[in-house]
Each structure stands twice: as structure tokens, then as C-alpha cells.
Chains A and B, each alone.
Chain A
């Protein structure tokens, strides 16, 4: 892995003992906590606000502002850490949890101190036992050392940090679904409003849900000051950020770069990063921010890795996941694969998503398998429109959460740019098929 400077959250990744308490303490660990406890909770919150730290989970909401959304004088408040990394293409939180768990725990403590959270819950994805193990060990060591629990470092700051974990459901990465899961329920999102977690979250109490990467920034911010953090990056995207570049690149990897400065072209082509397209083939498309994001193409390569610019260009940086597709990529197949993902991961709560994403998958599968009909492309777009009216960006939705509209992103992208590939499959099907296959139900039976 190649890393540019400064390294804020990945600074210990090269050390063999990065995940141990001794390793952490030897590299400045828990100094931010000591510093914070010597100042007021408000000072911690102010520092984070000054840093203009954007949430790193996907939506990119400013963390300091989010903290301020908790209604005054309503107690208790909770902190929930979203470690349910599962957006296709995304690989960073797992690293942070496996390689530097104490950094995350220190971030959690700083947040609890600043926000006034009575208890914190660290929700790790179920499929990540190593991360669970490292965090469990780190918590046990931190409790024993007096960093977590009752009267932290001899002060009156007391908070339990509870490790919990999921059991396989992408949707639980959505913050209200995560809260449901943490309450022992099916991870089905709640409608916002009225259930904004900051006001009505865990057990209907004010709850701040922050991503692992977001919180991992806090020790550095407190140690170095919010202004130092804000001095890095671009106007609207401060600090550094981790990006995973995967797919058809020579050197897939996870890179911490200054936020908003480098471009997609830098990250995909520069030798210190992904090093260019595999086999020096042509770029066909790339996903700039996880499977939910609309695809980008050649013309977007020079855009900086900066939130506002990318939003305006019609997609998002999302979870920092760049997936590169070269010229050999089958657009129909990639589109089908991503749609299938969302269909499989729909929680089933909202009708349009439950029924619509599966229907979209079925139509695409049919087209891919050679049973497409000329009317299917309009149908595909109209069903998409009924999930995400207008098929615009940012998406409108007939659903509670953005999962349903996310299934529309790849279809809209692929159909916009590669419609001839869909048409070609349908034309081929029309020419090579004399009748409808027997296992294919006739429309007449549903009249």
C-alpha cells in the first residue's frame, strides 16, 4: 500500500503491533483523551466543528453539525459506531478496525465526552471476526488501563463502550436500520422524519451514529487542533480520506489521500496509487463511490476527489470506493450484478423496493440470458422510475431509505451510455429464438 502525506488515520498501519495497547501508547495513543479531559466537553465539540470533518460513511454529513442536532436537555444520549462496512467496492473501515482499534476507541471516547453520551455501542459487521476480536481485546486492555469505563483516567467521565456485531445484512449500514438491529430487531430502516437518530434513535433517545473512519480522525484532530485538520484538503472537503481502488487496475489498493486535492485520474493512473488500467486497456467506466453511486466515465477523470464537485457532476464519493471497469467489461452483466445485490439486500419493508428491485433483476437476467423483449428496456426504465421518480440525481424515492433508488443507479448509468449493448442482446434474442422457452411463463396466464 502506498500512502501520501500526511497520514492521519493510517499512520500505524505499517507497524506489526499497530493493534496492541502498547503499540498504540508508544505512538501517542490516548494523549488526545488526556488532553480532552483537561478541557471542557464543549471544547472538544468545538474542535470537531472547526475541523469541518465530513462523515465518511457515505452521505458526507458534517460530523460536528450532526453532534449539534441532538436536542438540548434530552438525556440520555447514545453514541453508535457504524462498523458495518458492506457497500460493494468499499474497504477501509475493516482495516481501521483490524489494524488500529485503539484509535477508533479513543475516537469513540472523545465523541462521548464531547456529546455527553452515556453509553457507546460499537457495531461491527458480523462477517468480520478478526475486527471483532481485535476490538474486544483492545477494549479489554483499555478497560484494564483505565481508558474506558468508570471514572476514566481518574476523572468523573464514565462511559461503557460496548462491542456488538451484526449477522449479515447490507441494509444495517443505514443508520436507522443499524439502530433497529442494535435493538435486536430486523434491520429495517425507520422513516426520517420523524426518526432522525439525533432526536429519536436508539431506544427513541438522541443518538449520534458515526462511521468508523469518521471517529478514527478524532484523536488526530484533538491532538493537532481542528484548524490543522481543516488546513488540509479542499474548501468543502477537509482533512484526508481513505479511498479503495478496485477492479480493472494494475495495483488495486487502499490509499489515504488529502481530501479534495487529488483527482480520479491521479488515483487510478498514478504509479504510487492504482497504477493504471490492467493490461493498459481503455477505461470503460468507473464507479466513484460504491455500488449505489451512478457511474462515471472518461470525461470525469479530471474531477477532484471532492464532495461538492462530484455531487454536482451527478454522482457521489459515497464510501470512498472506486471501482474501475475496462473496455472488456460487459455493461449488462455488471449492471445485473449490482442490481442483483440490491435485490438480495432489500429489507422488504417498502413495496417499491421489495418488489421492484427483484423485478428489475428478473428483467435484466432475462435480457442477459437471451430472453429479452424490445419492450423490456422501456419497462426497465419505467419500473426504475416508480422506485426513483424522475431517475435524477440526487435521487428522489418512493421508499423510506435510499436502497431501492440505489438499484436504479447502475441501470440509469448503463442504459445512458451503453444502451446499444442491451439492444444488441435483445436483438440477438429475437433472431435466435423461435418461441418462448417452456420454463418462461406466458403473459397470458396473468391477464
Chain B
């Protein structure tokens, strides 16, 4: 994005309207001019896509020594000595002419157009257009609007054929499902008949359409731009941390749009993130606390509900009899407050933000980290040991796609089954479930292997080994839990193998849920404390700052659920967690909810688990509370409140603070900022973080900072304090010196470098042995799809129907072997349970394995899985 900054050193001097401008080498004229404060109008040009120079709006007179000539400034690179006149008569005439041509066939329905009020064509016309049309002929007429997908509608009369949506579809998303059709004056955008624009990224086309040709079904006719209030925030539909704007009117969220930040989303959003705006106002949002009476949950007063929770906690037989699961839905401040309550007040370490479907906290926090930019750096090599990023972290997929397609990045994929990124990978192999560790060990070994491993042929392994050896610079690994039907041990083992062989490797751990990374950073996992420190390392540090610290390492979610199932948990708190739906082993989750004495659910909408709770506390959701969030990279950015929560629903941090108070400990938090102040001054990895620093860093801040007080942050704070001081001085007329002193004090007291506990580092345990291959059994692969039965997707009316369901996917070779027909019904039997469903042939599933998608209607995959087993073995029989 063009932004003001110091002139580049090896710049190119050009003259724009008589003033010298130093452009970057190779910079497009349209961008250089904009940086210099001269905005050249445009419709087709978009700074995140390749220029096409076809709308002709950005024509300006350019003289490169052969006399002035009209040139599209979006296609012309600045060259030394170039003279540009964006205001000449000829330039103006050409631009006015183009505008008139665009309006020739454009309907004048601005009063009923969603884009009206924020439409570049309307704005241009208002500013420079003629008052009256000289076009007296009939305009083009086409049927309108036509749905081009479940989410997007197309009005071909309004379309000015700028190629933005089509370029986005092909160039950015890699889904060229919309295209120019016909020719010349009959040209239009359309899909192939009966093949809709079903891209996960379709909503971006609505956002970048320079007119109202593409509209979102969820936003049509809902609001006018001038009635909207807008706040920037960070999307919480997954952990990529896309920057968004939230638009509301009349205290109701109307839509989300992507905001362009360089290190993360480049302005793009996935449709799940974009259209999750509908879930904010969903029917069924909890607006008051509920208490169990017999079989029903009855609305209650907050004081009663909170007392019920604090009493239960106070009466728990021991700290180990309390378990807290969840945190991904929460802000960092919420999580810190809850971690402080759990570990610093209640003294329990039975806390886990993950639902047994991620990676151990020490792995996530302890591996040497890479940012998305570092992973995608041109010319690098990336090993994907991750879930299908297109399904789970869609905008990370876009970044990886760009890296592979445009920046010569070599992608090497090791996945249980082929994914949305497989076609972009230089190599992609699908090892047998549970054996990825052994495979990766061979891939990074010093010499070639002479045997097949995990079902992968030796030659193939050696070919990939060669690719990895040829990598320029440190290897980057995208690491995550690809299948919940196998234990995390295998992938952790793989990470250990890589780092052992190539210690300079950097990792991007990809957990899926919203702020799961922030929750782990804030200590919402067993064995860690806020600020990415181990319980044992930081015990002393926190003992001097908190009321207490847990005596020993506690249980993770699996452990908590086992303890609950065995009757050893008195209070089970679910912080926006629904283990009954999301924990891989559903039998265990169900037994745990039965076995726990008191179950407290804190959530925005009732889910399967909260329906079985004793107390339900109504929580404020996204866009209803302020705070910070941390993305997959460990990048902190803000989330903002745009609307008031429904009824009396409260932010999670308030509940923790209130409960602590009932238990006799005053946190002293009266706002998220109070909590952030404490986080920034005592949690080791977050030292130095402040609201001022965040305000000055729209891209967010990757933690930990290089220094206890980074020079940059220092400068920023100083600037802000000076500004505030100056303001106060002008208002009061008195000098304000104290503020400056505050800064000095912070330097002395806030950041105690020497005694800060060291951050967690990665240590791998030996993995569980995988049982020998049983030629009659199949190993199960359980993956996720973008749209599922999750609460938010199902609360967004546009998204809910998009969950595709699942059938059993089997390699055609196995299907043949089983003698089952495509689409035939089969019974799948594991040690736990059995399911009957239809089967689909899929060459992307390795032989000897079978794949299912979790969290889809009618098929409860979790019933098959025993989390105690390293892999889930199943048998397939004709039903």
C-alpha cells in the first residue's frame, strides 16, 4: 500500500505536476503519485493485484523525452526524468471522457444501490462528472441481480468491467470461476452455467468492486454507508488475525470488511470471517445468566448466578478438583483475568484453552517462531506439516499461495490426505496416519534412505530430501494438527526431528481457533504461566505478584475430562468451550459432563455442552467488547467494541474479576486497559506492550519485543506522552512534567530485564509407539472443513447451509479391494463405536486409510475416536 515514508535511497527522480518526487525503483507511477499526495483516479487498478490498465481512468500525460503522451499511470513504472502532468487539459479531457463512457451504460439507480455513498464511480461523477448525460440511446439491459454464489449477487448493468473481481478470483484466490464472457459491448462477468462462484473468498469481490455490481446477500439493502459507524478490529473466526472493519448502525453490526495490513491479510478476508458478522445478532444469543432447575435452565439474576459459581469454587475439595477448559473465544485480557483467577486465586493448574485437537502449549510457545512474512519470504522453502490451511486458516492459504505462485517459494507438503494447497506444492506426500515423525526424520536425514517409510516410496522420500537440502536459508515449517484421529505426538516428533537436524529452522504453529494463541500466551494451559513461561521457571516471579501459584503441573483437557469422568472434578468451567461437540473423543466428553459435580458454561449461545451445564453465564461476544488478541504468529492486535452486548451479557474478564472478588481477592480491574497494563508490565513475553504502542502500530506487534523496552516503542510512548502533555498544557496553561517522569519511571520499574524468567523452550517427549500395521484395518483421518456445525457458522444464516457434510473417503484402490461401490453404504467400526454412512472414492486419501470430516451434520466422527490411542483404527464393512 502506498504510504508516506522517507524517500527510498536508490530512488528514481520524477517530476509530477512540477514537483520532484523520488519514486522507488520499479514503482508504478500511480503509486508514486499517491505517496506524493497526488491521487490519480482509477477503477481497475488495485494495489494488491497485477495492473491491467483497462479502465483507462488513470490516464495522465507522461513525457519520457519524446513529448507528452497519455499513459495509464497504473502500468507505467517511474523512470528517471519522467515528467508527469496529472492536471493538464489533455489529461482532464481524457479522464472526463472515460468517466462519461463508463456512465453511458451505467444505470442511475444510486438511491437504491448498496454502494451508493461509498462508490468510487459515484464519487468521481459527483466531483468531476458532467451534470447532464449526452447519451440519449437506450442503455444495456440485463436480468438483474443474478446470484453467482450462495453469498454474492451480480448486477451486470452496474458492472463497469474493471476486471477486479475476475482478477481476484484467478490471481489471488486461485478460483477462476467468474470470468469475462462475450465480447466488446456485450462483455459481461458471469459464471459457467450451474457452476457457481463457490470460492471461500468470494466476499472480497464485493469489497473491491468499484461499483455496486457485486453485492453480498447478507448486506443487501440493510444500511446506507453514511449511517454506519466503523471501528477497526481483528477477525476472530480463526487464528490468522485478519484486520477488519466492523460497520454498525443503530447499535447493530451490519458487516465486516477487510483492512489492508502488510504482515497479515493484505485486505482480504475469507467468507467465513466476513459473513460471521451475521452471527453477532443471531437468534439465540444469551442475554442473561441461566441456572439449572431440574431438566431446565431458568433465567436468573447475575448476583445469584455468580454466587452459585463462587460458592461451588470455594467448596471444591481441592484446587485439583477444579478444571477450566477454553479461552480461544476470549481476549488476552479475558484470558489473563481467568488465568489469574484459576492459577493465582484458586491455585489450580487444570486449565487448557485447547480441546485436545491442537498441540501441547510448550510446542506452540517454545519452537523458534516465524512470522507469516518470514514463512512467505521470496525464494524460501516451506515444509507444511499442517492441516489443510485453505479449510482452517484461509487467509494464510492466500499468503502461501501468493508465495508459491509469485514469490518462488517452494512448498513441500506432508499431510494425511491431499489438501487445497497440494496443487501448489512442489512435492506432496500422504504418509500413513501416525507415522509422520519417522517419515520426516528420513526427509531431514544426512543421507538417502533405501527403504519405504510410512507408505511412501524411498525414491519419493529421497527426492523430497533433495529439495529440502537445496533450500536457501533456514527452513520454515508450518506446524499443526492435521488429523484429530491421531495423537499430536507424531507431529511433535516430526518437529523435533526437523529442529534436531536443522537447528536454524523456524516454525509457524497453526492452531485454528480465534485467540487460542493469546490464551496459551496468557497461561491458559497446564504447566505455563502468563507471558510464555513455564510454571516452574516463573513460580518465583509470579509468587511475588499474585496471591498464589499452583503447586504442581495440572491436567490438560483430556486429563480434566478423564478426571471428571472418574468423579474427581467438583467444578468444571467451560469458557466458550463445547467439548461435547469439539473434543475428538465424544464418549469421554459425555462421561466428563456427567461426572463433574458442577458444570459452569460461559458462552454467547447455548451449545451441546452448555445445555448440560448447571450454570450458564451470558458472555459478551465479538464486537461487543474491547481488548487485544494474539494471532498464530504471536502478533498482538486490538479487538474493538462496536455495539453493546445483548441484554446483560458481560465480558469474560468481568466475570473472572467478580468471582475473584467473591472469593476475597480484588484484581482491581475496571477496564480491559487495566488488565493490559498489568500484562504489559509483568508477563515476561509481553513486557513493554501498551495501549499506546498498539495504537501506534496498526499492523500489530509481534512479541516478545527485541528489547525490554524497544527503542521504537519508547519513542512512540514518548511522542504520545509529549502530545498529551502539550494538549494538557494548552488547555490548562500549566506545564506538565509528571508525564515525562512517568516514562522515566516505567523505564526503571516496568521492565526488569535481568530477573525475568526465561521463555518456554521446546522439548519433545518420545512419541507413543504406533501399533503394527493391520492389513484388515484402516487408519482413520479426521480433518476439518471451513464450514461446519460450529456455533458461529450455524448462527450466521448465510453460512449455515454451506457446511458440506461428510462421507467416508477411501482410496479407489481400497474401494476396489473392499468390493464396495462408489456412494455405497458402509459401516465403520472402531474400538469405540460404529457409524453407517456412504463412501466416496478419493485418490487423495492414501491406501490403507479412510478420511472423515469432523463437525458435520449427521456423522459424529468423535464417537469413533479414543484419544488414548496414537491412531484410530477402523474396519469398513458393507452396510
Residues of chain A whose beta carbon lies under 8 Å from any beta carbon of chain B? 169, 186, 191, 194, 343-352, 354-359, 362, 366, 379, 385-387, 389, 396-400, 440-443, 446-447
Nearest chain A CB to B841's CB is how many angstroms away? 30
Q: Which residue of A lies closest to B108 (CB)?
A: A446
Contact in complex: B135, A350 (CB < 8 Å): no
Contact in complex: B54, A194 (CB < 8 Å): no
Q: Which residue of B lies closest to A440 (CB)?
A: B136
Give the residue of A344, A366, A398, A400 whose beta carbon is less than 8 angstroms from that of B184.
A344
* 14 additional contacts (CB under 8 A) given A186-B180, A386-B94, A446-B133: A343-B184, A346-B183, A346-B185, A348-B180, A350-B56, A351-B55, A352-B101, A386-B98, A389-B93, A398-B56, A398-B70, A398-B97, A440-B136, A441-B137
Chain B residues with CB under 8 A of A355: 101-102, 104-105, 185
Give Cα A348–Cα B52 distance, bound, in whole angstroms: 13
Contact in complex: A389, B53 (CB < 8 Å): no
Can you sample 21 A-B contacts with CB below 8 Å?
A169-B183, A343-B184, A345-B184, A348-B186, A350-B54, A350-B55, A351-B55, A351-B160, A351-B161, A354-B101, A357-B184, A358-B184, A359-B101, A359-B137, A385-B97, A386-B101, A387-B97, A389-B94, A443-B133, A446-B136, A446-B139
Chain B residues with CB under 8 A of A357: 184-185
Give Cα A446–Cα B135 distance, bound, in whole angstroms: 8
Contact in complex: B56, A399 (CB < 8 Å): yes
Q: Which residue of A lies closest to B57 (CB)?
A: A351
Residues 529-588 (chain B) with a chain A CB within 8 angstroms? none
Chain A residues with CB under 8 A of B55: 350-351
Residue among A345, A443, A446 with the most chain B CB within 10 A?
A446
Chain A residues with CB under 8 A of B135: 359, 446
Nearest chain A CB to B461's CB is how many angstroms away? 33
- CB of B823 within 8 Å of the partner chain: no
Closest 3 CB pairs of A and B: A386-B97, A348-B187, A355-B101
Nearest chain B CB to A153's CB is how many angstroms away? 40
Contact in complex: B101, A351 (CB < 8 Å): yes
Nearest chain A CB to B456's CB is how many angstroms away? 34
Give the residue of A169, A186, A354, A362 whose beta carbon is less than 8 angstroms from that of B137.
A362
Chain A residues with CB under 8 A of B104: 355, 359
Chain A residues with CB under 8 A of B105: 355
Give the residue of A345, A354, A379, A398 whose beta carbon is less than 8 angstroms from that of B134.
A379
Chain A residues with CB under 8 A of B94: 386, 389, 398
What total count of A-B pairs have CB within 8 Å?
Answer: 104
Contact in complex: A194, B75 (CB < 8 Å): yes
Q: Count B interface residues, CB 8 Å.
A: 40
Nearest chain A CB to B254's CB is how many angstroms away? 31
Chain A residues with CB under 8 A of B184: 343-348, 354, 357-358
Contact in complex: A400, B54 (CB < 8 Å): yes
Chain B residues with CB under 8 A of A346: 183-185
- CB of B295 within 8 Å of the partner chain: no
Contact in complex: B102, A351 (CB < 8 Å): yes
Contact in complex: B101, A356 (CB < 8 Å): yes
- CB of B90 within 8 Å of the partner chain: yes
Residues 95-119 (chain B) with a chain A CB within 8 angstroms? 96-98, 100-102, 104-105, 108
Give Cα A346–Cα B108 distance, bound, in whole angstroms: 25
Residues of chain B whose beta carbon lies under 8 Å from any beta carbon of chain A? 53-57, 59, 69-70, 72, 75, 77, 90, 93-94, 96-98, 100-102, 104-105, 108, 132-139, 160-161, 180, 182-187
Chain A residues with CB under 8 A of B132: 447
Give the residue of A194, A354, A400, A440 whose beta carbon is less than 8 angstroms from that of B185.
A354
Q: Which residue of B lies closest to A447 (CB)?
A: B132
Contact in complex: B185, A352 (CB < 8 Å): no
Contact in complex: A352, B69 (CB < 8 Å): no
Chain A residues with CB under 8 A of B186: 348
Give Cα A355–Cα B105 distance, bound, in whole angstroms: 8
Chain A residues with CB under 8 A of B97: 352, 385-387, 398
Give Cα A423–Cα B814 distance, bound, in whole angstroms: 81
Contact in complex: A389, B98 (CB < 8 Å): no
Nearest chain A CB to B872's CB is how many angstroms away? 46
Q: Which residue of A lies closest to B131 (CB)?
A: A447
Q: Which residue of B lies closest to A403 (CB)?
A: B184
Give the residue of B98, B134, B138 whose beta carbon is less than 8 angstroms from that of A352.
B98
Give Cα A440–Cα B137 distance, bound, in whole angstroms: 7
Give Cα A366–Cα B100 distance, bound, in whole angstroms: 20
| Given contact pairs A186-B180, A389-B70, A349 touches B101 in the complex (Cβ within 8 A) | no
Contact in complex: B56, A352 (CB < 8 Å): yes
Contact in complex: A441, B185 (CB < 8 Å): no
Give Cα A355–Cα B54 distance, bound, in whole angstroms: 12
Q: Which residue of A lies closest to B162 (CB)?
A: A351
Give the residue of A351, A354, A389 whose beta carbon is less than 8 angstroms from that of B90.
A389
Chain A residues with CB under 8 A of B93: 385-386, 389
Nearest chain B CB to A317's CB is how many angstroms away? 24
Contact in complex: A400, B134 (CB < 8 Å): no
Nearest chain A CB to B165's CB is how many angstroms away? 16
Contact in complex: A358, B185 (CB < 8 Å): yes
| Given contact pairs A346-B184, A348-B161, A398-B94, A441 touches B138 in the complex (Cβ within 8 A) | yes
Give Cα A351–Cα B100 distance, bound, in whole angstroms: 10
Nearest chain A CB to B30's CB is how many angstroms away? 14
Chain A residues with CB under 8 A of B53: 191, 400
Nearest chain B CB to A132's CB is how many angstroms away? 22
Give Cα A394–Cα B38 distance, bound, in whole angstroms: 31
Contact in complex: A191, B72 (CB < 8 Å): yes
Contact in complex: B56, A386 (CB < 8 Å): no
Give Cα A397–Cα B97 distance, bound, in whole angstroms: 12
| Given contact pairs A351-B102, A386-B100, A398-B70, A441 touches B180 in the complex (Cβ within 8 A) | no
Give Cα A366–Cα B136 distance, bound, in whole angstroms: 11
Give Cα A398–Cα B101 distance, bound, in whole angstroms: 12
Nearest chain B CB to A86's CB is how many angstroms away? 14
Give Cα A443–Cα B56 distance, bound, in whole angstroms: 26
Chain A residues with CB under 8 A of B59: 398
Chain A residues with CB under 8 A of B54: 349-351, 400
Give the residue of B77, B96, B108, B183 whose beta carbon is less than 8 angstroms from that of A186.
B183
Give Cα A440–Cα B135 distance, bound, in whole angstroms: 12
Contact in complex: B185, A351 (CB < 8 Å): no
Contact in complex: A443, B136 (CB < 8 Å): yes
Give Cα A355–Cα B72 distance, bound, in whole angstroms: 18
Residue among B136, B138, B185 with the most chain A CB within 10 A?
B136
Contact in complex: A351, B137 (CB < 8 Å): no
Give Cα A240–Cα B244 distance, bound, in whole angstroms: 67
Q: Which residue of B lies closest to A439 (CB)?
A: B138
Give Cα A443–Cα B96 distance, bound, in whole angstroms: 20
Chain A residues with CB under 8 A of B69: 396
Contact in complex: B133, A354 (CB < 8 Å): no
Chain B residues with CB under 8 A of A351: 54-57, 98, 101-102, 160-161
Contact in complex: B70, A396 (CB < 8 Å): yes
Give the residue of A191, A349, A399, A447 whose beta carbon is less than 8 angstroms from that of B75.
A191
Nearest chain A CB to B131's CB is how many angstroms away? 9
Chain A residues with CB under 8 A of B185: 343, 346, 348, 354-355, 357-358
Chain B residues with CB under 8 A of A347: 183-184
Nearest chain B CB to A262's CB is how many angstroms away? 34
Give Cα A348–Cα B44 distance, bound, in whole angstroms: 14
Chain B residues with CB under 8 A of A440: 136
Residue among B56, B96, B102, B132 with the most chain A CB within 10 A?
B56
Residue among B90, B134, B182, B186 with the most chain A CB within 10 A?
B134
Give Cα A313–Cα B695 distance, bound, in whole angstroms: 66
Nearest chain B CB to A395's CB is how many angstroms away? 12
Chain B residues with CB under 8 A of A398: 56, 59, 70, 94, 97-98
Nearest chain A CB to B369's CB is how many angstroms away? 37
Chain A residues with CB under 8 A of B108: 446
Chain A residues with CB under 8 A of B72: 191
Chain B residues with CB under 8 A of A344: 184
Nearest chain B CB to A137's CB is how many angstroms away? 32
Give Cα A186–Cα B179 distance, bound, in whole angstroms: 10
Chain B residues with CB under 8 A of A389: 70, 90, 93-94
